[in-house]
Structure 1
């Protein structure tokens, strides 16, 4: 099955091929009817009108019809082309000076556009059938005369073969771009899913830090001595947040109401400077609102003021939200990099959406937190360039093949057989060699995948100069005839050199090349063809060259539209995959919290648990410590075990416990499950410790031991596992709690 780019190419190619046939055949037949001599002009008018009407109907049905109609309709078209070949007795006057007849142009356009409509075998059969009927019609119209020229059949077959080659080269380019894009999309999708899962995990941890952990920490620290409405409401809000934390947000949402909702649960008096509405992608709006909530929580806890100001502004590139207070301020340089509230809850949250967070403060001058979120459109430049490069490379090889085939198989025999038609032979040989050299130069550049760059226009000038040289060496009576091989065929190297640029430039240069040639013939005052014959002959070649140039332009537009459609489809598939993975992750997180944190929050929300009760306070403190350890769990940290323990120490010190921390020996990197088993006893001990505590981590290549000496409650019993053994020794009111890991020998 064709890929997305290839399928779009086939659809567009069919439309363009049929449209080109209608235009070229219609113009050539109309010019012939107006200017050329005809045996029976009334019959010719009927035949030409009927055939052009059929071509139009055929194109409409082929483009809009069903698959079954597309299968049998080309057979009818072949019959129609054969019919106009048999009509030459009434529609074509044999005249060597008349150039290519409208019938010949019509059948040539039919066979060169068939590759976009039928397969290779059907193309060969149709071409041979049409050639056979052409010779039959030519023989009936001009027995043994000019119309039945033996070279016309082989050249028509060669045109069909060259057109088939062009079609195959371009389609191969589309197929190559499909493979490259599919491979890149697969890698991007995997990377986006992994990044989304990491971002979801970090957003979940940020929400955990801002909600449940903060509430349990307040209860564990004795901030709330009894059940109060604000505590119940906060616990209920925490449960709601945990339930939807990590949800994949889709579409856009209004940021302003989300900011007001985030500020509603603070005791601060807020001054607002915001627009009435400001729509952002939902995921970005959620991250910004949660960052504002954390900033307001910091004002409440640390600023020593009950006022804050929220300012929101926007432009085409970004949205900026500022949370400012006139409180006591602080020195940001003294905040440790591993402090979660600043580094990860604010800074990393904004980094995850491509934004940034900045904290400006100094003692006595207040604090301003600035959150910036970018407004960026999806970039499809990469895919567009891949598709365009594949298309252009395939088309370039096709035109190289066409140019070389014409020069070697058509022009060289004409040149060698027409010595009497030239005033001197060397200009013809030099021109032929020069055009071959230009074509091979482009072939080498294409093979090496290097653009011609600044050499493009000197080569164009060389082609035009060679065309003038060859025309000047043709005797006047042979100008524009078969011996004047360079008259139109010099245009193929021009197409090859300029087809990747603007179509108007290529048309202008091609027109200039033909006008120079016609000007030389006009100055000579004689030519091998009549005016009508010259127009027909020129149009037969020029239409094919312009068709190739137009294909290049169509392919460039097709690359852009295909890239946009592929990007949209990829975003949809990626969003579905991300949502599926995040749902699984979220389900696992909720299950992990259900046994411990959720019952505590539910009890606080309903009033069933008294925050003044010592056992409740200790349970909340232990769960808050466990959450802090989870938040600090970062496998990318240089020493993840020490990083998690320091998070536990930070909380204990907030509760007034003085902790001495010592590390000894070099430790191996431990998997997360082992780290959790080693840290859990320390969490429980430090959560209930009083006065002073000592925490020690020692290790070798095969062992790691974490021990705590403190006046604390015994940790809850837990089974050993993952190579970790736990032990508890009592010395008066102090306990020595140890967790030791022994690696495999």
Structure 2
């Protein structure tokens, strides 16, 4: 089954192929009806109108109709094309100076767009039938004359084959994108699951510190001498918190969580908050617990019974401020290893990618500021993969078409028409130069290094070669069959400019054609009439513009496809994270079921007396065990290495032997920097085969991620956020490196 990118290409390809057909056939037939001589203009008008209406209806049904309609409709379309071929006795006047007829342009455009609608075998049969019927109609209209030129059939078949090759190139590129994105998504999903599980574990430990461990320690130290209602209520809340912690997923409203937190504090709280603030559930829970910890510190240490909670939401960042006017303190004099300040508050926010700041002075109160960023949607990596694959496939297809046109069509015409030129060597020089430009683009594409700024020098060379070829064609042969460079010099221009703006490409192509027409006009004579020149030019130009249009469509489609792919991936990742977090939470509750849960349940129901020495000893022992568990988790999170380890695990499951080494201590990297550092390595491991080596090195304020593997080149990406990338090739292996240096 086609992947998301390939299916999107197939759906969009049919739409744009049929749109191109309607435009080209509509314009060429209308121009011919207005300017060209016709045996019976009334019949010709009926046939032109009928066929254009048919093309429009055909396109609508092919795009919007059902599968059964799309199966038989191409048969009817072939019959319609055969009908206009057999009507040439009334619609086409045989005239060698008339150039390509509207019927010939129509059938060429039909077979060129068929690959997006029917399979290869059906294309071959349809093309053979159409060519055969065309020759029958041409023989009836012009027995033995120009319309039945024996070269027209083979060239029409060649156009169909070239178009089918273009279609296959682009579709293969889409399939490659699907494979790379699927593997990268798998690595990314594994990394997100691992990060979520790690975050859940740390949040669970923080919850233990804030709830069960504190309650059991209080009972174990004899603070409570007998059953109390408030103790039972607190034990019930602790049980609920343990069942809930680390299981938050999806989205949640922060404000109700904060109000629930405040409901269980003795402080009088003033509110300055919006009606609702929606966050990922894990972030909302983490932020609410940070607020709770700050309020607890106010109640314990500030010497005041009032506080204020302020919430700001600017779209990208949610900020919570807890303000009191109590006695204040000097933050510099607080031990950095105290869990309550550093790990339960500051690290809690760091785990979510946020920040915690404490501003206080003795006698001037305290302000705790907690910030939590909203996760930014970033589909640039997928978009770059899709764009690079599409452009590479389309470029190879255009290279093949250009070489086929120059070698299989133009070279035989050039050699057979020696009498049409004032000198043969300029024609051979121009032809050789255009082939050389095409080969330069081919080499650049193979090396995945577009010509860049040199493309304009090559465009200027193409103009010079085109002018040279036109200048040495005898005036009476210009714009005719012997004038091979008239339109075909545009193919190298398409190759050089197809990756840029469509408007620029159209302008440069138009300039090349106008230059050629200007040279012919100055000579005062040509092989074709005005209508013939327009028809002949449009027959070639429409094909070249089709390539430019496809390039633009593919670039635009890359963005929408990447967004759709990432949305589907988010759903799958969300489901996978939810399953793993549920399993982790179930396992943690099972681990506590034999010890902590019975104690808390007994305290909640007042069945256990906190004044009983045995109950105190059991609570003290369990509190000590919990605190040892909390204290053992003293490693600071390293999100970069964690993501890379997940990518390594996925690559190894795919059969790649990966050597992974991490050196030095990494600073706290912003999310954007982490993404840019990890993305090339993750993409490389997604396509790697055999053996790979992954290294993370940290020296001072510099972090470097490098991977050596036999893999596909990483998608092109601009440097940014202080990260610089480089790629070196050694045979079939690549050395891909991303380095970041912080501000000194």
Give the TM-score band, short-chain normalised: 0.7 to 0.9
> CA offsets per residue over residues 420-461 of structure 1, 9 Å max, x none?
222233332222122111111111110000122111212112
Give runs of aligned pairs for residues 70-219 of structure 1, distance below 5 A: 70-219=70-219
Matches within 5 A, 1:105-504: 105-251=105-251, 253-330=252-329, 332=331, 335=334, 338-361=337-360, 366-504=365-503
Once the 2 structures are TM-superposed, how far is the Cα of residue 602 of structure 1 from its aligned partner? 2.1
Write the distance in 2 (CA, Å) between the matches of 1:415 and 1:343: 81
Q: How far apart are the structure 1 equivalents of 2:438 and 2:357?
A: 59
Q: Which aligned pairs between 1:484-563 and structure 2 lie closer than 5 A? A: 484-563=483-562
What's the CA shift for 1:165?
A: 0.8
**SS class of match (1:453):** coil
Query: How high is the TM-score relative to the length of structure 1?
Result: 0.82
* Map of 1:728 onto structure 2: none
The CA distance in 1 between the partners of 2:182 and 2:502, in whole Å, is: 30
> What is the deviation of 1:106?
0.7
The equivalent residue for 1:15 is: 15
Q: Deviations over 1:258-277 (max 9, x none)?
A: 22221221222323333343
Per-residue displacement from partner, 1:359-404 (whole Å, max 9, x unpaired)?
Answer: 3445555443221111343100000000000000000000001111
2:611 paired with 1:612: yes
Structure 1 position 27 matched with structure 2 position 27: yes
User: Which segment drifts farther, 399-408 or 257-266?
Assistant: 257-266
In the aligned structure 2, how far is the partner of 1:562 from the partner of 1:637? 37
Describe the SS at the equivalent of 1:93. coil
Separation of aligned partners in 1, 2:139 and 2:343: 88
Q: Structure 1's 16 and 35: CA in aligned 2 closer, same or farther, altered over 3 A?
A: same
**Shift of residue 554 of structure 1?**
0.5
- Deviates most, 626-635 or 156-165: 626-635
* Partner residue, 2:713: none
Distance in 2, matches of 1:518 and 1:273, equals 73
1:735 corresponds in structure 2 to: none
* Residue pair 2:246, 2:282 contacting (<8 A) in 1 also: no
Matched residue SS, 1:107: helix
Deviation at 1:539, TM superposition (A): 0.7
How far 1:328 moved relative to its partner? 4.7
Q: State the alpha-carbon separation in 1 of the partners of residues 281 and 410 from structure 2.
A: 65
Whether 1:577 aligns to 2:573 is no
**Partner of 1:66 in structure 2?**
66
Provide TM-score, normalisation by structure 2: 0.83
2: distance between equivalents of 1:580 and 1:272? 36
Cα distance in structure 2, aligned partners of 1:431 and 1:240: 82
Q: Deviation digits for residues 158-189 of structure 1, max 9, x if unmatched?
A: 10111011001101110110010001001111
Over the aligned positions, Cα root-mean-square deviation in angstroms equals: 1.9
In structure 1, stretches of 5+ residues that fail to align are: 639-745
Structure with higher RCO (Cα < 8 A, 6+ apart): 2
Could you tell me how far apart the structure 2 residues matched to 1:269 and 1:446 are? 69
Report how far residue 319 of structure 1 moved: 1.6
Cα displacement string for residues 600-655 of structure 1 (whole angstroms, at most 9, x for unaligned residues)? 222222222232333222222111112112223338589xxxxxxxxxxxxxxxxx
What's the offset of the Cα at 1:334? 5.5
Indicate how the Cα distance of structure 1 residues 59 and 88 shifts in structure 2: closer, same or farther if over 3 A, else same: same
Aligned residue pairs total 637
Further displaced range: 110-119 or 300-309: 300-309
Q: Per-residue deviation at 1:333?
A: 5.0
In structure 2, distance between residues paired with 1:423 and 1:337: 90
CA–CA distance in 1 between the matches of 2:479 and 2:135? 24
Q: Tell me the distance in 2 between the aligned counterparts of 1:580 and 1:535.
A: 65
- The CA distance in 2 between the partners of 1:40 and 1:637, in whole Å, is 87
SS of 2:526's partner is coil
Provide the rounded CA distance (Å) in 2 between the counterparts of 1:505 and 1:463: 16
Alignment check: 8 A CA contact 2:248 2:285 kept:
no
| Deviation readout 1:532-582 (Å, 9 max, x if unpaired) | 101100110111111110000100111001100000000000111111111
The answer to whether the 8 A contact 2:249-2:578 is kept is: no
Q: 1:616 to 1:362 in 2, by over 3 A?
A: farther
- Cα drift, residue 599 of structure 1: 2.1
CA contact (8 A) 2:402 2:492 kept: yes
Describe the SS at the equivalent of 2:94. coil
